[in-house]
Amino acid sequence: MTDIQPTFSFELFPPKTDKGVARLRETVTALNARRPAFFSVTYGAGGSTQSTTFAAVDWIREQGIAAAPHLSCIGSTRDELLGILQRYADQGIDRVVALRGDLPSGAGAGAIGDLGHANELVALIRERFGDTFHVEVAAYPEMHPQARNFDSDLDNFKRKVDAGADSAITQYFYNADAYAAFVDACADRAIDIPIVPGIMPITNFSNLVRFSDACGAEIPRWLRKRLEGFGDDTASIAALGTAVVTGLCSRLLEMGAPGLHFYTMNQAAPTLAIWDNLGLDAVNALPGA
Ligand code: FAD
């Protein structure tokens, strides 16, 4: 795999309430002490979170912290997407996460918008903005849930790379072998961009099952059974979750993963517990710091 300096980053979602905004700010402040490469902020398909994503990104930037907004193309016109990208370019934002997104269930085919897949968004960004942005895309070691099969999903991942993606962040997974096999399959196709594992800390069993079912991430049976067995004992769930995810991260870094991207769910403590177990302060120290 790659020997470049690993990139550590944190993902946030845009809160809807004042309480949520306060929590996001506390989370960013706590996590920023770890000097991540950037904080990314998700974006709802069709612009459903546009104003809250902008507000979160603006606040992060006002703190002098690097922000990488997500942009999903489904449900939007080309002009709407270009308008958002121009706003980010004008703000000096230099990294975006380019996605297709998902339409709400029941939306008709007419709701798709001008671009059907993320590779078209990457191509649009490169065509109109050249190298203004470092473009991240999504990758799926356990296969995207709508993909026909693993090979066609890889072909589609390669389309995004060929369109100009600089690096990728994966869907979360709990099986390091799935990541290793995916990275090997990418290498066989001459895909050589960094593929950073997405890491989901485990804090709440029912939420984890719901997210995982929706996004196609597998919770290994042994882990599902052990977590389920804890019932409402959130302390035991968190303790096992932290140990398991620390072990996963440790293995991924030993395998040469080019960094880690934490799905923080706007909570600092679960990510910090894993970070501290891994001793990442030392790994992430700036040269000469
Ligand atoms: P694509 O790369 O377009 O792939 C979607 C499906 O279409 C796959 O099955 C693929 O095999 C197939 N496909 C791709 N290209 C083609 C093509 N040219 N022709 C035919 N088939 C094709 N969602 C949000 O709404 N907001 C977010 O902020 C967000 N952030 C995310 C961040 C990360 C790191 C990840 C992993 C996911 C994120 N998602 C987000 C979820 C994502 O939008 C969904 O997984 C969505 O279903 C697919 O998005 P994509 O960009 O991977 O799509």
Report the distance separating Cα 10 and Cα 260, nearest Å: 9
pLDDT, residue 3, reads 52
- Fold type of domain 7-278: TIM Barrel (3.20.20)
CA 34 to chain centre: 18
Quote the pTM value. 0.97
SS3 of the chain = CCCCCCEEEEEECCCCCHHHHHHHHHHHHHHHCCCCCEEEECCCHHHCCHHHHHHHHHHHHHCCCCEEEEEECCCECHHHHHHHHHHHHHHCCCEEEEECCCCCCCCCHHHHECCCCHHHHHHHHHHHHCCCCEEEEEECCCCCCCCCCHHHHHHHHHHHHHCCCCEEEEEECCCHHHHHHHHHHHHHCCCCCCEEEEECCCCCHHHHHHHHHHHCCCCCHHHHHHHHHCCCCHHHHHHHHHHHHHHHHHHHHHCCCCEEEEECCCCHHHHHHHHHHHCHHHHCCCCCC
Rounded distance between C-alpha atoms, residue 11 and residue 262, angstroms:
6
Whether the CB of 263 sits within 6 Å of ligand 1: no
What's the average pLDDT block by block, 10 residues per block, for the chain (289 residues)?
A: 76 98 98 97 92 98 98 96 98 98 78 94 98 98 97 98 98 98 98 98 96 95 97 97 98 97 98 97 67
Parse the chain into domains and list their residue ranges: 7-278
Q: For residue 105, what pLDDT is reported? A: 74
Q: Which of 50, 73, 156, 265 to mutate to test the pocket of ligand 1 (most atoms within 8 A of CB)?
A: 156
Taking the CB of residue 238, how many other CB atoms lie within 10 A of it?
Answer: 18
Q: Which residue has the tokens 């040469």?
A: 256
- 279 C-alpha to ligand 1 centroid (Å): 32
Residue closest via CA to ligand 1's atom 41 equals: 101
Which residues have C-beta within 8 Å of that of residue 152, sequence separation ≥ 6?
A: none
Cα–Cα distance between 249 and 24 in angstroms, integer? Answer: 24
Contact 259, 9 (CB under 8 A): yes
Residue 121 CA to ligand 1 center (angstroms) comes to 11
d(CA 99, CA 104): 15
How far, in Å, is the centroid of ligand 1 from the Cα of 241?
Answer: 27
In short, whether 100's Cβ falls inside 6 Å of ligand 1 is yes
Choice from 10, 39, 53, 72 to test ligand 1 binding pocket (greatest atom count within 8 A of CB): 72
What is the Å distance from ligand 1's center to 101 Cα?
Answer: 6
Which residue is closest in CA terms to ligand 1's atom 11?
A: 153
Contact present, 238 and 267 (Cβ < 8 Å) = no
Residues written for the chain:
289
- pLDDT value, residue 103: 83
